[in-house]
Amino acid sequence: MSRHISTIPVSEKADLYENAISGYLTQTGFKLKNKNGKVFWQLGTGMLALPLFLELDYKEGNEIELQAYMPAFTWWPGVFSGESDFTGI
């Protein structure tokens, strides 16, 4: 698994940022998905370009963990395999 993972320190409790982050991601075209009990944000469908995926984990205390990745290969729209991080993009 090749993902970009960042831990972001915040000044307030991390869950207070959830609505602001959700609003921003929605405005920029991301859609909230739930697949097999895993909640993530997806931008694009894979029809013309590879989609982008974000997972956010609001940790106890003052941290938000961000995982960002895209598929390494698309078999056809909506069917992906592997993961690639954003190194070099």
Domain that holds residue 49: 4-81
| pLDDT band for position 85 (cuts 50, 70, 90) | low
Residue 28 included in any domain: yes
Residue 52 included in any domain: yes
Neighbours of 89 (CB within 10 A): 8
Residue 63 included in any domain: yes
* pTM of the shown model: 0.78
Residue 74 included in any domain: yes
Which residues lie closer than 8 Å to 26 by C-beta, 6 or more apart? Answer: 32
The H-or-E segment that residue 42 falls in is strand 38-43
pLDDT digits (tens, 9 = 90+) for 17-54: 888 999 999 999 999 999 888 899 999 887 777 788 89
Q: Dig out the tokens for 9 from the structure.
A: 């320190």
